[in-house]
Amino acid sequence: MRGRDLVSSRVAVVEVTKAVERNDPEADPEPLLGQLSLIDLDPDLARIASGTGGPALRALDAIHVASALRVAHELEAFVTYDSRQAAAAAAAGLRVLSPGADDPTQEATAP
């Protein structure tokens, strides 16, 4: 991911901060967060997210997929390690990658 422009939903601020606190309470999430361009949750994005991925997709995952759809024309790939989120992103037409997974050459595809 080095040298790439990184984009995420603003909800990543909460998710990343909480994940860092769980894994290393002394670590500072700000350097990572400072590398992200953030997409705000507005009424239109909330509407798109509510219709994304079906009932099995968690709310925050749907917000991330909808955020990616907003800038899909600029994205090289949607990066996730969550299989439900990957399936929803692939079904929405996004190229999905999970770098460092067991087989990094595998892209997620829609079911």
pLDDT tier for residue 1 given thresholds of 50, 70 and 90: low
78 bridge partner residues: 96
Task: Write out the two tokens for 5.
Answer: 């422009």
pLDDT tens, residue by residue, 32-78? 899 999 999 999 999 999 999 999 999 999 999 999 999 999 999 99
Please answer whether residues 68 and 49 qualify as being in contact, where contact means their C-beta atoms are separated by less than 8 angstroms: no
Please answer whether residues 57 and 84 qualify as being in contact, where contact means their C-beta atoms are separated by less than 8 angstroms: yes
Please answer whether residues 65 and 77 qualify as being in contact, where contact means their C-beta atoms are separated by less than 8 angstroms: no
Q: Could you give the 3-state DSSP secondary structure of residue 96?
A: strand
Residue spans of the domains in the chain: they are: 6-108
pLDDT tens, residue by residue, 73-103? 999 999 998 999 999 999 999 999 988 765 5
What rounded mean pLDDT belongs to the chain?
89
Residue 48's alpha-carbon distances to 12, 42, 66, 75, 77, in angstroms, are 18, 10, 6, 18, 19
